[in-house]
Amino acid sequence: MTSSKTLSRRKFLGGSLMIPLISVDLTAYAQDLPLVSESDATALALGYKHNIADIDAVKFPKRSTSPDGDTQFCHNCVFYTGVEGAETGPCALFPGKSVAAEGWCNTWTAKA
């Protein structure tokens, strides 16, 4: 009876030790997501651009008229979950894809 309890603890501890490894693997996967195309239907609807110089200020005035417009980038948006300093990262608005850290879209919301 003691051996079955020990075996259960071993399985539990072994499984617990795997959680950080799985977490690291998912982080690596997130960095390998394909970059969303600017011609993607969602990207078009949200006015997403990889480069802020390409934003149509007439169609999407939020960025140019906002007092903090010059600091609005994907990397400091609440929807962006990329690693700080990375060129691209995942965005909740584009599942399975990444966005340019220096990009922007009309749903930009400052991180708290």
List pLDDT tens digits, range 50-89: 999 898 888 888 876 666 667 899 999 999 999 999 999 9
CA distances from 102 to 34, 39, 43 (A): 16, 18, 15
Give 24's pLDDT tier (boundaries 50, 70, 90).
Answer: very low
Residues in the chain: 112
pLDDT at 23 over 80: no
Question: What's the CA gap between 15 and 18, in Å, rounded?
Answer: 5
> What pLDDT sits at residue 28?
47
> What pLDDT sits at residue 41?
96
Q: Say if pTM beats, i.e. exceeds, 0.75.
A: no
Question: What's the CA gap between 17 and 73, in Å, rounded?
Answer: 37
